[in-house]
Amino acid sequence: MATRVLLAIGHRLYREALREVIVPRFGVEIVGETNNGRQALRQATALSPDLVILELGLQELNGAEIIRQLRIESPGLPVIAVSAHSDHPLVMRVLQAGARAFVVADGGLDDLQRAVEASLEGRMFLSPELQATIARSLSEPASLVSVLTPREIEVLQLIAEGKSTRGVAETLSVSPKTIETHRKHIMSKLHLYSIAELTKYAIREGITTVLRHD
């Protein structure tokens, strides 16, 4: 029986092209597709896939937080993170969240195929170019993002994506006052005191790309 894959990729063109290539080449079945982080969580629960291929930087919920929540809700579900970025804070945050593999988009289909095979066998896979990134992380100080709670990271991403306080509150099903409190805590912890500074920080740390996906 074919491996059932949930494809969570932000850009529609990339998602459709990837689907057309990997189905015959990898012999998998695509059971769900989405460009939204929260929808990816819902589909993972509803569809029970064997594997998730997840592009980082999805709208509304960043890749590391998706992986963290999937690890809680579906502990045995392997996730392959795919990203055009390979800076060490992002890579380390995603691996610590529980990703089974991290593939740099420039690595091509060969790397992705090796990642799929390794993930299904219970092994980890990293694109070869990430070795230097991992080695560098051992000598560099931890990112300030580590002081934020998972909920604060969610709020930070939504703020950086341009949502108003009310919009963030509606997305997270809490009150605007709660979001205001979170924002104050985030600013205090990061020593950043404007939305522009928070947005730049979120982009730099790979929490969001602030790109609108189709």
Flag whether 211 is in a domain.
no
Same domain, 114 and 154: no
Banded model confidence at residue 60, pLDDT cuts 50, 70, 90: confident
Give the chain's domain count. 2
Same domain, 170 and 121: no
Banded model confidence at residue 212, pLDDT cuts 50, 70, 90: very low
Residue 210 confidence (pLDDT): 62
- Provide the whole-model pTM: 0.74
Same domain, 34 and 64: yes
Which percentage of the chain shows pLDDT scores above 90? 61
Measured N-to-C along each axis, helices 195-204 and 176-190 cross at an angle, to the nearest 10 degrees, of: 70
Residue 139 confidence (pLDDT): 54
Flag whether 77 is in a domain.
yes
Residue 137 confidence (pLDDT): 59
Same domain, 103 and 151: no
Residue 144 has pLDDT above 70, yes or no: no
Residue 35's alpha-carbon distances to 18, 57, 62, in angstroms, are 13, 10, 11
d(CA 80, CA 126): 10
Same domain, 99 and 74: yes
Banded model confidence at residue 136, pLDDT cuts 50, 70, 90: low
Banded model confidence at residue 203, pLDDT cuts 50, 70, 90: confident
Listed residue (103, 64, 104, 101) closest to 84, CA to CA? 104
Same domain, 19 and 124: yes
Same domain, 110 and 187: no
Cβ(81)–Cβ(67) below 8 Å: yes
Same domain, 119 and 91: yes
CA dihedral 123, 126, 132, 136 (to 10 degrees): -70
